[in-house]
């Protein structure tokens, strides 16, 4: 059964619900919400994931620690916990997710909800079971910055990449 998403206008006003295929069509003229989760450890290293080669968008590209769609009727924090469990096998409580803001992705018709989780995980703690993630690695901020602007990173819009770096840097610097 196809996933159903809440849809919004460009200002985030709720409009109704639509199927994922509609939301991912060329010009749906409405937005759907996603969660972007960045995990930062006590050494201020940032976890980045390499998307599976079977992914439709940005296969085998480095990206957020975890990310995914918010389903119709689902709260953003519920989606955060679900996506982390599905993608890397970790299920922190909702209280660990710190909301940073929202970025509008016009090319994907998404309103991405940006969250940070401060936690120390060992690479061996992560489990990839659903063919969404190929690998993960901890990087420094400088390494992340180089990666984000390289061809190895998902082809997000310039504004989205800038937002990623701004939010991560803000969380590292305190």
Domain interval for residue 161? 4-173
Q: What is the pLDDT of residue 119?
A: 97
Q: What is the pLDDT of residue 56?
A: 87
Residues of the chain with pLDDT under 70: none
Q: What is the pLDDT of residue 111?
A: 97
CATH code of the domain containing 99:
3.90.79.10
Alpha-carbon distance 48 to 131, whole Å? 16
Q: Token match 């080669």: residue?
A: 53
Across all residues in the chain, what is the average pLDDT?
95
Structure tokens at 171: 């969380």
pLDDT in tens, 14-45: 999 999 999 999 899 999 999 999 999 999 99
Coil, strand or helix at 118: strand
Q: What is the pLDDT of residue 157?
A: 92
Total number of domains constituting the chain: 1
Q: What is the pLDDT of residue 174?
A: 74
Instruction: Supply the pTM of this predicted model.
Output: 0.94
Q: What is the pLDDT of residue 57?
A: 87
Q: What is the pLDDT of residue 100?
A: 96
In this structure, the number of other CB atoms found within 10 A of the CB of residue 82 comes to 18
Strand partners, 33: 111
């Amino acid at each position: 059964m196809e996933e159903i998403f809440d849809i919004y206008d460009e200002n985030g006003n709720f409009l109704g619900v639509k199927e994922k295929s509609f939301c991912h069509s060329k010009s749906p003229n409405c937005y759907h919400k996603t969660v972007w989760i960045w995990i930062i450890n006590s050494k201020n290293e940032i976890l980045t994931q390499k998307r599976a080669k079977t992914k439709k968008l940005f296969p085998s590209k480095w990206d957020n620690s975890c990310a995914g769609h918010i389903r119709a009727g689902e709260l953003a924090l519920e989606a955060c916990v679900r996506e982390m469990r599905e993608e890397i096998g970790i299920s922190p409580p909702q209280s660990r997710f710190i909301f940073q803001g929202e970025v509008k992705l016009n090319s994907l018709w998404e309103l991405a909800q940006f969250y940070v989780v401060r936690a120390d995980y060992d690479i061996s703690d992560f489990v990839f079971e659903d063919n969404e993630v190929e690998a993960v690695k901890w990087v420094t901020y400088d390494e992340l910055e180089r990666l984000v602007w390289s061809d190895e990173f998902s082809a997000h819009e310039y504004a989205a990449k800038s937002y990623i770096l701004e939010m991560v840097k803000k969380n590292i610097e305190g």
